[in-house]
Structure 1
Amino acid sequence: MADTDRESGPGERPCWLCARPLGRRIEWHHPVPKSRGGRETVPLHPICHRAIHANFTNAELTRKGEAVQMLREHAAIARFIAWVADKPPDFHARTAAKRR
């Protein structure tokens, strides 16, 4: 779900995945997919949102649920977080899809 921040301005809340300050563009992610009964949403950078969906199926996200640390420990996500760590909040680049 793409949206502007509903509760606070840019930079006031960290990204749920990478923990960097959020920029102008914020997307809202269901840690447990909405199609699997998830209701909670968390704020993400668009690039972080795409990285999650490029590396995990809805079934995998359902099993991991809201355990963000499990996502961060996944090898591809850990590499992504290390790579994006020094980028500005509104940085965006193409996200390659995982080959399944």
Structure 2
Amino acid sequence: MPKSRGGRDVVPMHPICQQTLITNFTNSELQRHGTNVEILLANPNIRKFVDWVAKKDPDFTATIAKKQR
């Protein structure tokens, strides 16, 4: 859950993974569905990213697209 929505837990996340989530979901959506992996993976952009990044080294980093609203 985003801090702006009352979240207090900190979950370590790779920077490009975090950026991909906040690029594709609003804070409200992450508050509602942020812990439900199936719902997150139902988003075609997230599924494509996960399939792509799964083939990369753990220390891989890259820039990603800006948030589209």
Query: TM-score category by the smaller chain?
Result: 0.7 to 0.9
Tell me, which stretches of 5 or more residues in structure 2 are unaligned? Answer: none
Instruction: Give the gaps of 5 or more residues in structure 1.
Output: 1-31
Q: Which 4+ stretches in 1 moved above 4 angstroms? A: none
Contact 1:54 1:96 (C-alpha < 8 Å) held by counterparts: yes
**How far apart, in 2, do the equivalents of 1:33 and 1:73 lie?**
20
Larger radius of gyration: 1
Comparing both chains, which one has the higher relative contact order based on Cα–Cα distances under 8 Å and sequence gaps of 6 or more? Answer: 2
Call closer, same or farther: CA 1:40–1:68 in 2, change over 3 Å. Answer: farther
Matched with 1:61 is 30
Query: Cα RMSD over matched residues?
Result: 1.3
Q: CA deviation at 1:68?
A: 2.6
How far, CA to CA, are the matches of 1:78 and 1:67 in structure 2?
14
Query: Distance in 1 between the 2:44 and 2:8 partners?
Result: 27
Tell me the percent identity. Answer: 52
TM-score by length of 1: 0.62
Count of aligned positions: 69
Aligned AA for 1:57? T
